[in-house]
Amino acid sequence: MVLLKLTLFFVFLCFISAFGQTTEPKDTLDIFSIPLRELSNIHVYSASKKNEKLIDAPGVITVYDKNDINDYGYYTLSDLSNITAGYSSYSIYGEKVFETRGQKAGSFNNNKHLLVIDGIPVNFARSNKVNTEEELPLFFANKVEFLRGPASSLYGIGAFYGVVNITTPDSELKGTSADNKISFGSLDLSKRIMSNVNIANEHGNLKLNFGYFQKDASKEFVGLVNNSNNLYWDDQKSTFFNVSYQFNKKLKGLSFGTIYMNKSGGLGEHWMHGNYTSEVNNIQWTTLVIYSKYEKQFSKKLKLNSYLKLNESIEKGWWSPFDSLSYLNYNGTGSNFEAYSVPVRNIEGQVEMHWINNKIADITAGVNIDSRQQLGQNNGAYIISFSADSGDVHIELPVNKSILFNTFSTFLQVKKKYHL
């Protein structure tokens, strides 16, 4: 109920901010009308963690700007990946996950790619999986970069197959601006609300982004035969918040923000293969990231980037543990419903230096400290098995804190251009 009130208030704020304002429509990007000189000047960030021309980047990158995303109407990373060379997505267990160059990473283990938003890694803390669906609506993005190939030497854990880098727009004008998009579809009664508000003045820049999505289950037959006990339960409800503030005057270079993503829905065909799925089967992913970031340009050649991040993620699931055989032979006793909740806390800090010298080399060096722990019952962790035997019976297994996993890593990249 509280989340619903916050959602309605945020949408109301967006419309109030936009009321009475008029903006000239911008021409959409037509890549065939762009001169070759401008194409060669497209800048990217993900390959070297600094802005550079696409042609100079030491990696293979596909870039989409805000106009591209709006023109295509693709507002999720899974949809955008399907038109990106070297990337694609597929559905498994109610999840849409990446497939890169033939390498699949199914659902819970969709952790071979690193997602970065405005320089902050935001993958799910328990498994490091990427959020690819409506819980991350790209309506708020100014640019999305798909870096293909391993990048762990520069980004660390999670960048085995590639990096997806998302940046949000910086306001060049003082004042308040807003844009909103609301859509309804007859297919599975889908509903989508996306809103952006930007408030800028001489002191700083406040960004507010919101997204909400809901759809019913497709209920398509997914078994070997058209059996009503084996339908496709892909219903989904997703919520997204992104709030950030960047100082422009005092404390220039300092920014802080909060990113919240939540998605719940059916398990699709579930993992109980055979002629049975259940509407009860459901999973929920929640990620809350709170961060501060500091950047300092000491000179034209030397720059500091740093951040400190808290990531708390919760995975919840509940289901009827039946396959086709046990469902047909069920006698009404024993366990017929199970549920679990696993919260994980991740604290990460990073400091990196960039030294740019065209005559010698471009050098990026840094250190990263990552600490994560699975939390226990006092923080909402549980594993419960409900019984259908007489009386109110359920078995609750103890869930204790895990040991603290600490990772300390350093990285170095040296780039030198040679003209043949």
**Which of 111, 154, 105 is CA-nearest to residue 131?**
111
Q: How confident is the model at residue 41 (pLDDT cuts 50, 70, 90)?
A: low
Please, how many CA atoms are within 13 Å of residue 256, restricted to the half-sphere of its CB? 6
396: number of Cβ within 10 Å: 12
Lowest mean pLDDT among 69-78, 90-99, 134-143: 90-99
Residues 276/229, Cβ–Cβ less than 8 Å: yes
Integer Rg of the chain from CA:
23
> Would you say residue 334 lies in a domain?
yes
Residues 350/367, Cβ–Cβ less than 8 Å: yes
Tokens 């469902």 correspond to 327
How far, rounded to the nearest angstrom, does the alpha carbon of residue 249 sit from its chain's CA centroid? 31
Lowest mean pLDDT among 27-31, 67-71, 287-291: 27-31
> Would you say residue 322 lies in a domain?
yes
Tokens of 104: 């699949």
Lowest mean pLDDT among 25-39, 98-112, 361-375, 394-408: 25-39
Domain range for 230 is: 2-415
pLDDT in the model for residue 257: 97
> Would you say residue 27 lies in a domain?
yes
**183-215 burial, b if ≥16 CB within 10 A, otherwise e?**
eeeeeeeeebbbbbbbbbeeebbbbbbbbbbbb
326: number of Cβ within 10 Å: 14
Phi, psi torsion values for 321, nearest 5 degrees: -80, 60
> Which amino acid, one-letter code, is at 186?
S
Q: How confident is the model at residue 34 (pLDDT cuts 50, 70, 90)?
A: low
Query: Please, is 247 exposed, middle or buried when counting C-beta atoms within 10 Å of its C-beta (0-12, 13-18, 19+)?
Result: middle
Residue partners of 341: CB distance under 8 A and separation at least 6: 314, 315, 316, 380, 381, 382
288 or 416: which leads in pLDDT: 288
> Would you say residue 396 lies in a domain?
yes
Tokens of 114: 């690193």
- Taking the alpha carbons of 316, 129, 237, 86 in that order, is the dihedral positive or negative? negative
> Would you say residue 420 lies in a domain?
no
* 162-167 and 113-117 beta bridge pairing: parallel
pLDDT in the model for residue 40: 55
> Would you say residue 373 lies in a domain?
yes
Q: Report the pLDDT averaged over residues 87-92.
A: 86
The number of folded domains in the chain is: 1
